[in-house]
Structure 1
Amino acid sequence: MPSENIELKKAGLKVTHPRVRILQVLESSPNRHLSAEDVYQQLRDAGDDVGIATVYRVLTQFEQAGMVQKLNFDGGQSVFELDDGDHHDHMVCVDTGKVIEFHSEEIERLQEEIAAAHGYEISDHSLVLYVKPKS
């Protein structure tokens, strides 16, 4: 049984051609952050007859099932990335829209310290840095 079918079944989703193909696009794309339109275009380029409404619906189902994360960056469209369970933060280039993933133990530690200093503990967080190339 292909790994996509196993992932869909583990998420409690019925295995359908559009779901399998969309998952394959997400898994095989060199760009980990794809908009629904990016997914749709890759499917069209591959000759798949999957409509844009189906792509949006399946991505929403994947998000609800915990398979993907939907990221909303300022000034841009929503993008989706597979949720592999590893926490990371993002930088977004304000000139090109390029999304760069990074992880910093120091930043994670500082966030915990800041929350604790205010009497809280972090239950979840998202850090996005908006960057531009150095001049």
Structure 2
Amino acid sequence: MAKSRFDTGGGPSQRQLRVGELIRRTLSDVLLRGDIHDPELNRMSITVGEVRTSPDLKVATAFVLPLGGQGADEALSALRRNRAEIRRAVSKGLTLKFSPEIRFAIDETFDQMDETRRLLGQDRVQQDLDDPDADLDD
């Protein structure tokens, strides 16, 4: 059965993924070069982990985290305060019909990875990993 181009039941489309990655790279470059006229923002080293776009590509959510994870609230506040200037700077590097609205959120994937490592390091889990046949019925 052919998939409808309007089917949104699954994950993001290839176009959404491509545009999200393009915005992520462009936003990272803008922040790295210090193109935004805000000394507080330019003083921070911010990592852009992922950008997710809406199906119509008009809204992009950038998941960011300051280097070391310290000062996340200040970084988020500075990015939101300068979002119009950031949008203009990012749109210069894009060849899209519309310049997407950029929203910012804290990237929590690093915290999730730490929690996963912590869980996998527990003695009970290590027993299961060391002896994979322990739970199998004969």
TM-score, with structure 1 as normaliser: 0.29
Q: Comparing both structures, which one devotes a greater share of its residues to helix?
A: 2
Larger radius of gyration: 2
TM-score, with structure 2 as normaliser: 0.29
Q: Which has the higher contact order (CA 8 A, sep 6+)?
A: 2
